[in-house]
Structure 1
């Protein structure tokens, strides 16, 4: 079976009724957890972006506090898992400001909750890659936002 392109899907959706669209969306939401999460974001949280960011930050903090730091291997895996989940929430939003805010929070919270993990080269490399990504994203934002986010980024000691 050949998968349709985004343009083909968009064109086909024009010819569907509201009831058919509802049925398609509900059926799509049953197949993957990510589809349901994205649909929940679009329906309930997209119009409250600041609240969404705060909720994700709280989730990041909870997950970081739960990291088992007794073994470097498991700690590294936990950091990667939290970063992967953070990026999933960034994808749902699609906003560069949200991405910058959440990634800065991830790096800063990791530094604050587990400074000993930054002694591990792999964790330090993960943070440094995120810092580079954050700097690239900041450069695409409005000048006022650039200044604010650069001030936040300066709080992170990543060397």
Structure 2
């Protein structure tokens, strides 16, 4: 016998019939099973009200990881993927496209500052290029007033990458 999975609408309707104490018990029980559930619940309870402080905390954590970036290209690529995974988790928690864009811009700035620019290791190059592509896609999803604000940062990042990375061509973006 398999466990049936209900949709979010059905779960939402059922939760509305429960008391607040029962909902709190369910949240605690859910947080016990996965670390990410616990982290999301902690974000929603303690950090969601101050998005800027949350963003600064995420930047500090990723900067600490960037300063420990290994010199060997293979290990550096693994460390960069770990940083991307962390940034994706934080942007998923916030659910805000501006936070996601800020984290992407910060990642690319830190990449230009800390990563080996002369490497011929293709995965290192691909990591940066994919993040720039993702940044361009997120930028298109923002409202026009925010797009113009972030477009300048995006263009200056592309210019800096074009100057610092011999294998990068900003005209492709």
SS at match of 1:86: helix
Structure 1 residue 55 corresponds to structure 2 residue 72: no
Within-5 A mapping of 1:74-153: 74-116=75-117, 119-153=120-154
SS at match of 1:4: coil
**Cα distance between partner residues in 1 of 2:25 and 2:16:** 15
SS at match of 2:117: helix
What 5-or-longer segments of structure 1 have no aligned partner?
none
TM-score (norm 1): 0.93
**Cα distance between partner residues in 2 of 1:145 and 1:119:** 36
Number of the residue aligned with 2:26: 24
**Cα distance between partner residues in 1 of 2:27 and 2:141:** 33
Change (3 A) 1:102 1:26: same
**Cα distance between partner residues in 2 of 1:117 and 1:56:** 28
Q: CA RMSD in A?
A: 1.5
**Cα distance between partner residues in 1 of 2:52 and 2:113:** 23
Worse-superposed segment, 52-61 or 145-154? 145-154
Give CA-to-partner distance per residue, 1:29-50, whole Å, 9 cap, x none.
1111100100011011111011
**Structure 2 residue aligned with 1:43, among 45, 59, 70?**
45
Number of the residue aligned with 2:12: 10
**Cα distance between partner residues in 2 of 1:49 and 1:40:** 14
Larger radius of gyration: 2
TM-score (norm 2): 0.86
